[in-house]
Amino acid sequence: MGRVVLVTGSSRGIGRAVALRFARDGDHVVVNHHGDAEAAARVAREVAELGGTATTVDADAASVAEVREMVDSVVAAHGPVDVLVANAGICPFVPFLEVTEEVYDQVHGVNLKGAFFACQGVAKTLIEHGRPGAIVAVSSVAVYRPGPMQAAYAPTKSGLLSLVRALAVQLAPHGIRVNAVLPGDIRTDIYLGAVTHGQAEEASARTVPLGRIGRPEEVADVVHYLASPQASYVTGAEILVDGALTHARP
Ligand code: NAD
């Protein structure tokens, strides 16, 4: 489709799968990372192999200045960002009583503040250029089923949902749709961090009604749908991508 698609935190995991999904449309994908240049360059090469084009940008999602600079540089080089996927996220597994101010600020900075200011920068330029657009935020089932070590993380994902609802209303008059996906257990570095801190992988898969953990590509397909013309009347929505984990009895 030739759109400009900015995916925060796309050097690996769900973000990488999202970048590759848009590449198949021939889009220009901006692969954001923070200090992960080699992996980001690999993703950019994969995007090109699939028929898209890509640039990589190192920017810390927790830094408002770096997020603004990233959006400005993308707009200067490629024009307004048509699709923003606010995906960058960290999930330090720390028991509630041991969460320090530093951990709290870092999780909120990357997961929520970074997404907030990326949305602001992208929306501003779309409005200035009179262009429609789509924003998809990667939240989490932790909103409904926070794990025992996710007291700092879960509120950032609830905050993202709240942000999505607020922006869906405020940006609707400008033709900008804003939605959220809520992944369950998806096989990425974050998930592998969780299983080493708790259940073994097979045991955790047994708690999912579909009987297995998910693949990053299965989240990417839903993100892609939400940003597509097929979702033209969908805004302010949240889609669980969790194999019914949220609705299962613990
Ligand atoms: P991951 O650790 O593989 O990927 C996280 C990505 O975020 C990486 O590309 C990393 O470079 C990037 N990132 C981290 N800190 C950053 C920073 N300061 N600035 C810019 N980028 C930064 O994990 P993932 O599972 O692919 O996570 C992607 C998103 O999905 C996160 O928001 C996560 O909370 C969410 N999520 C994941 C799962 C799961 O089970 N994997 C479940 C629910 C939600």
Model pLDDT, residue 63: 98
Ligand 1 atom with the smallest distance to the CA of 184 is: 42
> 182 CB less than 6 Å from ligand 1?
no
249 occurs within a structural domain? no
Q: Find the 129 Cα to ligand 1 centroid distance in Å.
A: 30
207 occurs within a structural domain? no
27 occurs within a structural domain? yes
Which residue from 66, 69, 90, 145 has its CB within 8 A of the most atoms of ligand 1, so it is best to mutate? 90
> 62 CB less than 6 Å from ligand 1?
yes
> 110 CB less than 6 Å from ligand 1?
yes
62 occurs within a structural domain? yes
164 occurs within a structural domain? yes
233 is catalytic: no
Model pLDDT, residue 131: 97
Model pLDDT, residue 183: 98
157 is catalytic: yes
Whose Cα sits closest to atom 39 in ligand 1? 186
Kindly state the average pLDDT of the residues 114-126.
Answer: 98
Model pLDDT, residue 217: 98
Distance of alpha carbon 136 from the chain centroid: 7
> 112 CB less than 6 Å from ligand 1?
no
Kindly state the average pLDDT of the residues 132-143.
Answer: 98
Question: Is the pLDDT confidence value at 247 over 90?
Answer: yes
Question: Whole domain around residue 136: which residue ranges?
Answer: 4-186+220-235
Model pLDDT, residue 132: 98
Are residues 148 and 199 in contact, defined by beta-carbon separation less than 8 angstroms? Answer: no
> 90 CB less than 6 Å from ligand 1?
yes
Total count of domains within the chain: 1
Kindly state the average pLDDT of the residues 18-36.
Answer: 98
Q: Find the 91 Cα to ligand 1 centroid distance in Å.
A: 8
Percent of the chain with pLDDT over 90: 91
113 is catalytic: no
Model pLDDT, residue 189: 86
Structure tokens at 159: 């905050």
> 150 CB less than 6 Å from ligand 1?
no
d(CA 121, CA 78): 15
pLDDT tens track for 171-222: 999 999 999 999 999 999 888 877 777 667 777 888 999 999 999 999 999 9
Question: Is the pLDDT confidence value at 10 over 70?
Answer: yes
pLDDT tens track for 37-73: 999 999 999 999 999 999 999 999 999 999 999 999 9
Look up the CATH number of the domain holding residue 121: 3.40.50.720
d(CA 19, CA 44): 9
Question: Is the pLDDT confidence value at 109 over 70?
Answer: yes
Residues 6+ positions from 185 with CB-CB distance below 8 Å: 191, 194, 204, 205, 208, 213, 214, 242, 243, 245
157 occurs within a structural domain? yes
69 occurs within a structural domain? yes
177 occurs within a structural domain? yes
Model pLDDT, residue 199: 67
Ligand 1 atom with the smallest distance to the CA of 35 is: 11
